[in-house]
Amino acid sequence: MDRSVLLLNERNLKQRKIKNYLMILFCAISSIITIFPLVYIFFYTTGAGISAINLDFFINLPKPVGETGGGMLNAIVGTLILIGIGGLFGIPIGILAGIYVSEYSGSIMSNIVKFITDVLSGTPSIIIGIFAYGLIVLPMQRFSALAGGFALGILMIPTITRITEEMLKLVPHTLREASLALGISRWKTTLRIVLRTASSGIITGILLAIARASGETAPLLFTSFGNNFWSISLDQPIASIPVMIFNYAISPFDEWHRKAWAGAFVLITIVFLVNLIVRIVTKTKYKAG
């Protein structure tokens, strides 16, 4: 080609170099643009949250408008209960599906499971909410913690399945063969040896899924609904931090906005810590491996 001829052309080379610098500059600038909102949101939330947060926030129930003080104790407990229900239901299914996809890969069924998990992870969370509504709220005739937990459980499944699958694939094949050669049955090999080797990775996956579920709002709006009072019964509407933030944020009262910021601060701290822990754990693991 005449590329070599072009190379000799001095002006052309200069142009190419300028273009080179411009594009690299553009890449660096876009990184800064991307980081900016994160830093901004983070400090904005922290700034507004820290001034509003105090011990009351964690140990008191919400007060009506006009009264000072009060906290979100019911929402905090509610979120924990919802995540508990979701985890009870989502974690085993997620792990089992992950085992199936990884250990029995190749079969048509495992490909179908894999595809469904992919679809599920891309499904908007509000759709999951409608699903839980149709399945649990309609038959029960009222909003309940159970329905909210169920929706969160479904949301956890794809994350856990994906990570379980990837972690199991990292387990060397020779380990499985050694175990099988000793005459140990296949399910015992999977359960006692493969799963145990991959357990720390799977735990990080569960942590990530919980962090994600704890911030989910959309599916809870019409499943667990929210509750301004103390309630821990599973068949009643229950409060949760994200829904509380939503209701407070769109309200016209300054006092409530401050509460909502405090809640947002709590959520963002959880997310940040979990990600940091996961990051550190996986890093040391890769170094050791």
Partner 1 sequence: MIIYEMFKDSEESRNMFSWGFIFVDDWDSVKESYGALSFIYGTIVSSLIALFMALPVSIGVAIFLSELAKTAIRTTISFMVEILAAIPSIIYGFWGIFALAPFMRETVQPFLQSVLGFIPFFQGNIYGFGMLTAGIILAIMITPIITSITRDVLRAIPVSQREAAYSLGSTRWEAIKMALLNAKSGILGATVLGLGRAIGETMAVTMVIGNRAQIKASLFEPAYSMASVIANEFAEASGSLHISALIEVGLILFGVTFIINSLARFLIFSVTYKMDNK
Nearer to partner 1, 46 or 60 (CB): 46
Nearer to partner 1, 194 or 239 (CB): 239
Report in angstroms how near the CB of residue 195 gets to partner 1 at its nearest.
26
Q: Annotate each residue in 114-143 with x if it binds partner 1 (CB under 8 A) or - if it does not, as one string.
A: -x--xx--xxxxxxxxxx-xxx--x----x
Report in angstroms how near the CB of residue 129 gets to partner 1 at its nearest.
8
Q: How far apart are CA 100 and CA 195, in angstroms?
A: 12
> Under the criterion CB under 8 A, does residue 34 sit at the interface with partner 1?
yes
Looking only at residues 55 through 114 of this chain, which bind partner 1 when binding is defined by CB under 8 A?
none
Nearer to partner 1, 104 or 115 (CB): 115
Nearer to partner 1, 197 or 269 (CB): 269
Report in angstroms how near the CB of residue 36 gets to partner 1 at its nearest.
9
Q: Is the dihedral of CA 167, 172, 177, 180 positive or negative?
A: negative
> Under the criterion CB under 8 A, does residue 44 sit at the interface with partner 1?
yes
Q: Annotate each residue in 233-262 with x if it binds partner 1 (CB under 8 A) or - if it does not, as one string.
A: ---------x--xx--xx------x--xx-
> Under the criterion CB under 8 A, does residue 152 sit at the interface with partner 1?
no
> Under the criterion CB under 8 A, does residue 41 sit at the interface with partner 1?
yes
Residue with tokens 């301004």: 228
Q: How far is CA 39 from CA 51, 263, 270, in A?
A: 18, 18, 16
Nearer to partner 1, 229 or 272 (CB): 272
Residue 259: which of 74, 81, 79, 48 has the closest Cα? 48
- Alpha-carbon Rg of the chain, whole angstroms? 25
Looking only at residues 178 through 217 of this chain, which bind partner 1 when binding is defined by CB under 8 A?
208, 211-212, 214-217
> Under the criterion CB under 8 A, does residue 14 sit at the interface with partner 1?
no
Nearer to partner 1, 111 or 185 (CB): 111
Residue 165: which of 246, 103, 239 has the closest Cα? 103
Using CB under 8 A as the criterion, which residues of the chain lie in contact with partner 1 when the complex forms?
3, 7, 16-17, 19-20, 23-24, 26-31, 33-35, 37-38, 40-41, 44-45, 48, 115, 118-119, 122-131, 133-135, 138, 143, 208, 211-212, 214-218, 221-222, 225, 242, 245-246, 249-250, 257, 260-261, 264, 267-268, 271-272, 274-275, 279
